């Protein structure tokens, strides 16, 4: 390179740094660095002082404003337009405490919503919903948004039966542009809306995707950004960078205790601002006038300089105009920036990078954001959550400890989770085996395929994912695991109804969507003893992939296991270690008149039509046993046999044949949708000829073909008709002991069912 070229190169680099260093803060006022956790909390205190709200968080005891005059004047976002900056700041403070006061009484997703309060106020002040679209991803950040959009009076019903959803829901309000109970979908949806507005020549085209709480780690977000940059779709992506990647973030794992995402480290180093972007655009235009050799040199200098200053160029290389990072709690800075982006005629997609503090404005949430991500009812003055009566261990913790037992004996066992270590028990496993725990972030497809790769080399991966989230890894289950018959163990937590999170989180479909895949072994435990046994069975099964599904909830305890399920426990103690059970073999739990061992002298069910069998899979076995006892207490001539299938694949055909041969009525029950276990049993009976002579009446009891809204799990099973009284009613109708009610009678009783508050 000539002396002239060398001087030009170093001179250009010096000019970049000088220009950037002297203009960034003066022109735009962006935060020059992203705060660390400690700095972020200092930022919170300074912001409270700046906004005049420091006195409201100086506890404990913590308390908010006694009156909320600004919030009281806001029914819809249009009411905000005339506010001045001091009033806007006061509104944000009042709104935060409105969320806190309500959630302390109902429970819900707290810290995420506290962290976006200022952003919510700014977005609704700048944009005009519902003409403009704002998409919240993940939508549990939407509590402040709901209060500002006409639902303040309904907020005490949050996540309750008949109340408002804990996520955005299009059917609930025209201000909920898009539902996002799962994550990483907002950018795709915003792009689709932007294209539609453009094609339809709509006057306004403002589409905002707020993506945060780890949702940016999902691969779909990058597929959308790649497309948006290529198609030059007008949209604003607001990256709410609160340091949250997994729940909880920082679980001991093979990657250490840092957030489970290299992207989190990447975004924490980004420092690119609008003036630098403008200057670089000018430099590129000027570059075209230079000789070809010099163009290449300038390009390398430009990339090198951007790398030093920003820590990378990922978002810009995807075609986005990057702005940030910005203090997401600084309304004086945030609002004018949003206004400029709104009014820009540019069609290029924009990524606005905000640094926020999860749990902002409420010290107990700031210092323990993971613990207060999802909360039950809590003491507002101290942040302490109210504890219920001591209960049995959760199925999640039982699974985790059973897996630890298996891993102690087998060093090939590893655990994989997709950003849900707390929800799946991988945090418990990770504390015992950090180097054998792998959190991949919100990336279910990757988790399943990575498990397949591990299995190829001889490891025994347990891929632990919520049933509802496994839907996103379906192709990998088929293509990468089942077709190759790799021994990947897929643990599906939250099978069945999950309660207050509603339809986006129910595990209703796994039996249906997995049951049609060859090579899978699918099992579901009826109780905590069976769960431990099935974990050990999966650990010892190397002949193909296995699926173990289990519900949200707690075990039954030794007393009920013995009195209702018929277990004989040594010293009345539940075994702490599981045992391997035979693959594809169910069991009969209850015969005519009681438990199996006490039925030899029973005189019940002398006629075939009076003999009823219930074949259950999963934890509906409890309800089946209760119903069976109640029926036999009512009628001396009826006998009710109850069996636990254990497996959907391979189906225990010998057990099914036995029940079909011995009884006049066969009922299946499951915690799943149409197309699941009952359909598999019916398919076998039809092919086996068991239905040909008309001597067997068959009824599957499944979740109706509908979505079930928020409520308790008991309420949801009540609405679905899968509790003990519904099983009892089905038995009595099929045994001709009661008449089938007509539609008018059902409709009259329905309000009574919906007001059930038990459990």
DSSP string, 357-422: -TTTT-HHHHHTTTTTTEE-SB-TTT-PBPP-S--PPBHHHHHHHHHHHHHHH-TTEEEEESS-HH
**Structure confidence at residue 258 as a pLDDT band (50, 70, 90):** low
Which helix (H) or strand (E) segment is 61 a member of?
A: none
Please state, in angstroms and as integers, the Cα–Cα distance from residue 575 to each residue in 278, 523, 538, following that order: 68, 20, 18
pLDDT of residue 380 exceeding 60: yes
Sheet containing 133-137: order of strands: 133-137, 207-212, 236-241, 350-355, 321-327
The reported pLDDT for the residue numbered 748 is: 62
Which segment of 464-468, 496-500, 589-593 scores lowest on mean pLDDT? 589-593
Question: Cβ distance 362 to 57 under 8 Å?
Answer: yes
Contact indicator for 294, 5 with CB cutoff of 8 Å? yes
**E strand or H helix at 547, and its extent?**
strand 546-551
455 near 486, Cβ under 8 Å? yes
**Is 348 in the same domain as 458?**
no
| Cis peptide preceding 138, ω within 30 of 0 | yes
Token pair, residue 460, equals 């025994």
- Least confident interval from 27-31, 263-267, 363-367, 480-484: 27-31
Residue 567 in any domain: the answer is: no
303 & 334 share domain:
no
| Poorest-pLDDT segment among 98-107, 212-221, 646-655, 664-673 | 212-221
User: Residue 570: inside a domain, yes or no?
Assistant: no
Mean pLDDT of 84-103: 95
Is it the case that residue 418 has pLDDT exceeding 70?
yes
Tokens of 208: 């905002």
* pLDDT average, residue stretch 347-367: 90
759 pLDDT exceeds 70? Answer: no
| Least confident among 60-69, 131-140, 262-271, 560-569 | 262-271
Using alpha carbons, select from 416, 420, 410 the residue that is nearest to residue 461: 416
Model confidence at 7: pLDDT above 70: no
Question: How many domains does the chain contain in total?
Answer: 4
DSSP string, 564-615: TS----GGG---SS-----TT--EEEEETTEEGGG-TT-----SGGGEEEEE
- Domain-embedded: residue 438: yes
Evaluate if residue 276 carries a pLDDT over 50. no
Other C-beta atoms lying within 10 Å of the C-beta of residue 339: 14
274 pLDDT above the threshold of 60: no
Same domain, yes or no: 492 and 424: yes
- Per-residue confidence band for 60, with pLDDT thresholds at 50, 70 and 90: confident
Report the pLDDT value the prediction gives residue 752, as an integer from 0 to 100: 46
Would the pLDDT of 516 be above 60?
A: yes
The whole-number average pLDDT for the span 1-11 is 43
Q: Please check whether residues 11 and 39 belong to one and the same domain.
A: no
| Distance, CA of 20 to CA of 272 (rounded, Å) | 9
Give the residue among 211, 181, 186, 249 at the shortest CA–CA distance from 420: 249
End-to-end CA distance of the chain: 79
pLDDT at 620: 97
The conformational region for residue 324 under phi > 0 = left, psi -120 to 50 = alpha, else beta, is: left
For residues 477 and 485, the answer to whether their CB atoms sit within 8 Å is no
Does residue 156 register a pLDDT over 50?
Answer: yes
Per-residue pLDDT reduced to its tens digit, 470-495: 999 999 999 999 999 999 999 999 99
With cut-offs at 50, 70 and 90, classify the pLDDT of residue 58: low
pLDDT digits (tens, 9 = 90+) for 732-758: 999 999 877 655 665 565 544 343 333
Q: What does the alpha-carbon distance between residue 612 and residue 678 come to, in Å, rounded to a whole number?
A: 16
The pLDDT value recorded for residue 11 is 45
The better pLDDT of the pair 255, 483 is held by 483
* 144 has pLDDT over 70: yes
pTM over 0.85: no
Question: Do residues 224 and 335 both lie within one domain?
Answer: yes
Whether residues 327 and 434 fall in one domain: no
Report if residue 494 sits inside a domain. Answer: yes
pLDDT mean over 197-209: 90
Q: How far apart are CA 577 and CA 568, in angstroms?
A: 16
Nearby residues of 530 by Cβ (< 8 Å), 6 or more positions away: 581, 644, 646
Q: How many CA atoms lie within 13 A of 655 on its CB side?
A: 24
Nearest to residue 176, comparing CAs of 213, 212, 137?
Answer: 137
| Burial zone of 388 (CB within 10 Å; 0-12 exposed, 13-18 middle, 19+ buried) | exposed
Q: Nearest CA to 705 among 555, 512, 572, 561?
A: 512
pLDDT score recorded for residue 479: 97
Name the nearest CA neighbour of 176 among 210, 204, 205.
210
pLDDT at 124 over 90: yes
DSSP-assigned letter for residue 352: E
Whether 286 and 370 share a structural domain:
no
In a domain, 174, yes or no: yes
> Which residues 6+ apart lie within 8 Å of 266 measured at CB?
311, 312, 314
The answer to whether 498 touches 505, Cβ cutoff 8 Å, is yes
63 domain residue, yes or no:
yes
- Give the integer Cα–Cα distance in Å for 109 and 708: 20
On whether residue 577 sits in a domain, the answer given is: no
* pLDDT per position as a tens digit, 690-708: 999 999 999 999 999 999 9
Q: Provide the residue range defining the domain that includes 103.
A: 31-247+259-269+322-375
- Identify whether the C-beta of residue 489 lies closer than 8 Å to the C-beta of residue 546: yes
pLDDT at 600 over 60: no
When mean pLDDT is compared across 110-124, 354-368, 698-712, the lowest value belongs to: 354-368
466 contacts 420 by C-beta, under 8 angstroms: yes
Highest mean pLDDT: which of 138-142, 233-237, 522-526? 522-526
**What digits encode the pLDDT tens for the residues 552-570?**
999 999 999 999 999 999 9
Query: What span, in angstroms and rounded, lies between the C-alpha atoms of 672 and 510?
Result: 7
CA atoms of 712 and 721, how far apart (whole Å): 14
pLDDT of residue 52: 47
What DSSP character marks residue 505?
Answer: T
Give me the residue label for tokens 């945030």.
Answer: 334
- The residue that leads in pLDDT, 104 or 277, is 104
- Mark whether 203 and 303 lie in a shared domain: no
In this structure, the answer to whether residues 641 and 733 fall within a common structural domain is yes
Alpha carbon separation from 234 to 80, 312, 319, 349, 438 (Å, rounded): 25, 23, 11, 5, 37
What's the pLDDT band for 317 if we cut at 50, 70, 90?
Answer: confident
Question: How much is the CA Rg of the chain, to the nearest whole Å?
Answer: 29
CATH number at residue 472: 3.40.50.970
What are the contacts of 49-55 at 24+ separation with CB within 8 A? Answer: 50/330, 51/89, 51/92, 51/93, 51/331, 52/86, 52/89, 52/90, 52/93, 53/89, 53/93, 53/361
Residue 316 lies in a domain: no
Kindly report the average pLDDT of the chain as a whole number: 84
Answer yes or no: do 294 and 346 share one domain: no
Same domain, residue pair 119 and 203: yes
pLDDT > 90? residue 118: yes
Co-location of 429 and 281 in the same domain: no
693: how many CB neighbours lie within 10 A of its CB? Answer: 7
Positions annotated as catalytic residues are 358, 444, 472
**pLDDT greater than 80 at residue 286:** no
> Can you give the pLDDT at residue 316?
83
Distance CA 566, CA 563 (A): 6
Share of residues in the chain with pLDDT > 90 (%): 61
* Partners of residue 563 on adjacent β-strands: none
Q: Would you say residue 575 has pLDDT above 50?
A: yes
By CB neighbour count within 10 A (0-12 exposed, 13-18 middle, 19+ buried), where does 369 fall? Answer: buried
More confident residue, 751 or 679: 679
């Amino acid at each position: 390179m000539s002396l002239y070229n060398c001087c030009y190169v170093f001179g250009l680099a010096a000019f970049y740094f000088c220009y950037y260093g002297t203009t960034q803060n003066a022109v735009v006022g962006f935060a020059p660095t992203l705060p660390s956790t400690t700095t972020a909390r200092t930022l919170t205190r300074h912001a409270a002082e700046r906004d005049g709200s420091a006195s409201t968080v100086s506890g404990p005891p913590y308390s908010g404003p006694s009156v909320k005059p600004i919030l009281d004047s806001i029914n819809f976002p249009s009411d905000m337009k005339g506010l001045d900056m001091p009033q806007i700041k006061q509104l944000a403070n009042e709104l935060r405490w409105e969320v806190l006061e309500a959630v302390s009484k109902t429970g819900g997703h707290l810290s995420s919503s506290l962290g976006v309060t200022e952003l919510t106020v700014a977005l609704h002040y700048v944009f005009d919903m519902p003409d403009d679209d704002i998409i919240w991803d993940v939508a549990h950040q939407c509590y402040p948004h709901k209060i500002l959009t006409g639902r303040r009076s309904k907020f005490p019903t949050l996540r309750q039966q008949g109340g408002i959803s804990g996520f955005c829901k299009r059917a609930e309000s025209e201000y909920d542009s898009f539902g996002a109970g799962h994550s990483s979908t907002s950018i795709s949806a915003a792009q689709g809306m932007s294209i539609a507005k453009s094609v339809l020549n709509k006057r306004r085209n403002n589409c905002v995707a707020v993506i945060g709480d780890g949702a940016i780690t999902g691969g779909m977000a990058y597929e959308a950004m790649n497309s948006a940059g290529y198609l030059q779709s007008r949209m604003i992506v607001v990256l709410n960078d609160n340091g949250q990647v997994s729940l909880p973030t920082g679980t001991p794992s093979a990657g250490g205790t840092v957030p489970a995402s290299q992207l989190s480290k990447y975004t924490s180093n980004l420092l690119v601002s609008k003036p630098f972007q403008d200057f670089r655009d000018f430099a590129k235009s000027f570059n075209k006038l230079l000789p070809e050799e010099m163009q290449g040199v300038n390009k390398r200098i430009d990339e090198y300089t951007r790398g030093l200053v920003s820590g990378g160029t990922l978002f810009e290389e995807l075609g986005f105009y990057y702005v940030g990072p910005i203090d997401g709690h600084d309304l004086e800075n945030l609002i004018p920036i949003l206004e400029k982006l709104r009014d820009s005629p540019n069609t290029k997609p924009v990524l606005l990078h905000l640094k926020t503090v999860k749990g902002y404005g409420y010290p107990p949430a700031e210092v323990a954001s993971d613990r207060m991500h999802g909360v039950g009812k809590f003491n507002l003055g101290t942040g302490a959550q109210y504890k219920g009566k001591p209960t049995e261990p959760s199925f999640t913790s039982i699974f985790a400890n059973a897996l630890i037992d298996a891993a102690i004996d087998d060093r090939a066992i590893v655990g994989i989770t997709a950003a849900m270590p707390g929800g799946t028990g991988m945090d418990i496993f990770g504390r015992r085996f950090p180097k054998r725990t792998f959190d991949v972030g919100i990336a279910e497809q990757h988790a399943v395929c990575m498990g397949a790769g591990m299995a190829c080399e001889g490891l025994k991966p347990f891929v632990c994912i919520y049933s509802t989230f496994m839907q996103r890894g379906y192709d990998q289950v088929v293509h990468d695991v089942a077709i190759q018959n790799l021994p990947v163990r897929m643990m599906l937590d939250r099978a069945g109804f999950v309660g207050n999170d509603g339809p986006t989180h129910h595990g209703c479909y796994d039996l249906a969507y997995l049951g049609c895949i060859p090579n899978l072994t699918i099992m579901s435990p009826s109780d905590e003893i069976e769960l431990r046994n099935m974990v050990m069975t999966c650990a010892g099964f190397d002949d193909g992939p296995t699926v173990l599904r289990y519900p949200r909830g707690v075990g039954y305890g030794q007393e009920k296991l013995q009195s209702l399920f018929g277990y004989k426990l040594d010293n009345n103690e539940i075994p702490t270690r599981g045992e391997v059970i035979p693959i594809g073999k169910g069991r009969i739990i209850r015969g005519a008149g009681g438990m199996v061992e006490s039925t030899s002298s029973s005189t019940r069910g002398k006629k075939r039509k009076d003999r009823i069998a219930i074949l259950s899979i999963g934890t509906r076995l409890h309800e089946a046993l209760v119903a069976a006892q109640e029926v036999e207490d009512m009628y001396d001539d009826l006998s009710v046999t109850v069996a636990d299938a254990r497996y959907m694949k391979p189906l225990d055909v010998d057990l099914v044949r036995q029940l079909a041969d011995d009884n006049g009525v066969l009922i299946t029950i499951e915690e799943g949708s149409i197309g699941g276990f009952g359909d598999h049993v019916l398919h076998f009976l039809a092919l086996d000829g068991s239905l040909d002579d008309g001597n067997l009446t068959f009824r599957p009891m499944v979740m109706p073909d509908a979505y079930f809204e928020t409520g308790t799990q008991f309420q949801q099973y009540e609405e679905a008709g899968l509790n003990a009284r519904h099983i009892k009613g089905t038995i009595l109708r099929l045994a001709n002991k009661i008449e089938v009610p007509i539609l008018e009678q059902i409709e009259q009783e329905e309000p009574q069912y919906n007001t059930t508050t038990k459990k």
